[in-house]
Structure 1
Amino acid sequence: MAQLTILGAGSWGSALAMVLAENGHEVTLWSHNEYHAQMMQETRQNTRYLEQLTFPENVTITADLATAVRDAALINFVVPTKAIRQVAQQIKPYLKDKRTDEWPIIMHSSKGLEQKTYLRISEVLTEELNLTEEHPVVVLSGPSHAEEVANHDVTAITAASQSLEAAERVQQYFMTDDFRVYTNRDVIGVETGGALKNIIALGAGILAGTGYGDNAKAALVTRGLAEISRLGIAVGADPLTFMGLSGVGDLIVTATSSHSRNWRAGYQIGQGAPIDTVEEQMGMVVEGMATTIAGYEVAQKLHVEMPITTAIYEVITEQTTPQAAIQQLMRRDKKGEVHFTDLQSVLTPLEQDKGE
């Protein structure tokens, strides 16, 4: 069986390490914290992030990057978006002497946009590791709470890459009886959906914390999906991707569950918690906070209308209150539900598939 490496020992990285190990692979799980790595290796548990999981014996845990990546056939980045570039720079020296036939699959299972550059994670990895079309990044994304994966709940996600062969290899590595993996070539759409849904999940938490119910949540999720699709199409995504697992699927699971750290962070904000303390109280990175800022700035740059994202941006930058932001959204000018340009964006690829 292959030697596979997970970079990042948070809840999601730990759950994915378990999936691979239970599939019979030798897995190395890397933590940036030496003490954390030692405790996990000794106790076979990750009590800090995912206490219900017990690591199988074929998971080796280390804080040494060289050990983690040296013989890996696959390297999966599962670290916060803000750490992707730094970790890629750190592993680069250990990969430089590899022959083409030894080159590992480079993939990631994180969700976000890099601040300031607005690059998707695959773009950051391609840039830092000098990846070519021969070795493109694979993205693993979709509706997946780590807690439920650890409990062997049924889960379905997507492996996306410009190389169908690479995506199919990842599919083969991860596929189990309760962890189903589909393939997709639309890397832009899969990454964009995975990143932007965190904004809407943050908003859903804010709504709940403010006291609103299911009607408001349904309105937010539905109109939020329209915004995600609108910006995704503007950056080159296939609009149909947003109807799939990494679009509406991921949005539903993240915006409707207390398992979601973005939802929980939003709930605290809606309850009146100071913005600058929310992430600290969570004890984990809340990707939706940074992604809201990046998503808002990209939308402004591309002149894409995203009123919900703008409202959440103004809340987390303390320009307005949740209550005022909600009222501002509800008092916007009257509009039709479907814009002609949005409809054309969906119909065009369908017509092309029919040969029209």
Structure 2
Amino acid sequence: MIAVIGAGAFGTALAASLARNGPVVLWARDAQHVQEMQATRENARRLPGITLPTAITISADLDDVSDADIVLVSVPAQKLRAFLETAGPQLAGKPVVACCKGMERGTGLRPTQVIAEHVPKAATAMLTGPSFAQDIAKGLPTALTLACADDAMGGYLQKRLTTPNIRLYRTTDVTGAELGGALKNVIAIACGAAIGAGLGESARAALLTRGFAELVKVAQTHGARAETLAGLSGFGDLVLTCTSAQSRNYRFGESIGAGENFDKGVTVEGAATAQALEEMARQAGLDLPITRVVTGLVRGELNVRDAMDMLLQRPLKEE
């Protein structure tokens, strides 16, 4: 049996797809939310219009997770540590797959590193790549990266987590897969802001391309492999997130560019990641101009026009 922790849109979508293979437990923290889903067989709060298969057991009891062979954790990266401080004992000794993207503010740690701190005996892995919850839940074809340092465990997880509509590609480069998934959200905010401010598609293309250069610079500094960054978890996820209004990070940036309010109830991982990344870059002496202006936009210290002027007025250089 597989357990999915977190009944947000992505966690629910994964549970719906995995239920085509066998029993799944979908765990949610909010007992009232669980009762709603049990009664309607739908996650109307996060993934409306999708009927949850009967193979999914919906629960707010962590004891129901204890029987799972594999646990997928799909809670926001900034809330992962708090969850694990409570739930760590139930995950001990199991393969734990992070399904959240981001860097923890204050520590700069990636999701698998946070899991390793709290569940040291767990086999950790990362599931990431270009995907939207609605597509997965509807059974539309999706390709993702499964990153696990233990290649044998990665092969086992690849077989267990592949579904009729999700094709998994395996890598041992966990660092590259995690950083690609985290940093692309920062660039998506920049691209959304450019479009929201009416700066045009050419500006978005420039930000996407130069943003990818920043992503590569950071990831390779941490030992990531170039082929990982050029794959699904890097370039693939970057393109999807920077070009579709289905992306929360892109929509958040678009609202900044248009001077509109954004729903504070929607998780925007790129906002926290930008600030964590800027602090890490300062300590490492890395020049990340797009990340720097995104941090300024998120904090309200810059407007989009000033941010673009800062980027355009940088010294000329070779590509």
User: How high is the TM-score relative to the length of structure 1?
Assistant: 0.87
The residue that corresponds to 1:350 in the other structure is: none
Q: Which runs of 5+ in 1 are unaligned?
A: 97-102, 338-356
The residue that corresponds to 2:160 in the other structure is: 173
- Measured after TM superposition, the shift of residue 126 of structure 1 is 0.3
Distance in 2 (CA, whole Å) between partners of 1:169 and 1:204 is 37
**Structure 2 residue matching 1:296: 3-state secondary structure:** helix
- Please say if 1:324 is aligned against 2:306: yes
**Structure 2 residue matching 1:76: 3-state secondary structure:** strand
The residue that corresponds to 2:110 in the other structure is: 120
Query: Of the candidates 66, 69, 72, which is equivalent to residue 70 of structure 1?
Result: 66
Q: Which runs of 5+ in 2 are unaligned?
A: none
Q: Is the contact between residue 148 and residue 171 of structure 2 (CA under 8 Å) also seen in structure 1?
A: yes
The residue that corresponds to 1:289 in the other structure is: 271
- Please say if 1:6 is aligned against 2:17: no
Q: Is the contact between residue 73 and residue 99 of structure 2 (CA under 8 Å) also seen in structure 1?
A: yes
Greater mean deviation of Cα atoms: 138-147 or 174-183 = 174-183
RMSD of equivalent CA atoms: 1.2
- Please say if 1:311 is aligned against 2:308: no
Query: Of the candidates 24, 29, 33, which is equivalent to residue 27 of structure 1?
Result: 24
Query: Of the candidates 258, 262, 265, which is equivalent to residue 271 of structure 1?
Result: 258
Distance in 2 (CA, whole Å) between partners of 1:211 and 1:90 is 45
- Measured after TM superposition, the shift of residue 279 of structure 1 is 4.6
Distance in 1 (CA, whole Å) between partners of 2:135 and 2:88 is 33
Q: What does 1:62-141 align with in structure 2 at a 5 Å threshold?
A: 62-67=59-64, 69-95=65-91, 103-131=93-121, 135-141=122-128
Q: Is the contact between residue 158 and residue 245 of structure 1 (CA under 8 Å) also seen in structure 2?
A: yes
Amino acid across the alignment from 1:266? G
Q: Is the contact between residue 52 and residue 150 of structure 1 (CA under 8 Å) also seen in structure 2?
A: no
- Measured after TM superposition, the shift of residue 87 of structure 1 is 1.5
**Structure 1 residue matching 2:149: 3-state secondary structure:** coil
Greater mean deviation of Cα atoms: 193-202 or 315-324 = 315-324
Q: Which runs of 4+ in 1 moved over 4 A?
A: none
Amino acid across the alignment from 2:29? H
Amino acid across the alignment from 2:246? H
Amino acid across the alignment from 2:127? L
Q: Is the contact between residue 19 and residue 174 of structure 1 (CA under 8 Å) also seen in structure 2?
A: no
Query: Of the candidates 39, 42, 48, which is equivalent to residue 42 of structure 1?
Result: 39
Query: Of the candidates 162, 175, 189, which is equivalent to residue 202 of structure 1?
Result: 189
Q: Deviations over 1:199-233 (max 9, x none)?
A: 00111110111002211111111110000000111
Q: Is the contact between residue 66 and residue 91 of structure 1 (CA under 8 Å) also seen in structure 2?
A: no
Query: Of the candidates 178, 202, 215, which is equivalent to residue 228 of structure 1?
Result: 215
Q: What does 1:207-222 align with in structure 2 at a 5 Å threshold?
A: 207-222=194-209
Larger Rg: 1
Percent of matched pairs sharing the same residue: 38
Distance in 2 (CA, whole Å) between partners of 1:43 and 1:80 is 25
Distance in 2 (CA, whole Å) between partners of 1:326 and 1:233 is 26
Q: How many residues align?
A: 319
**Structure 1 residue matching 2:209: 3-state secondary structure:** helix
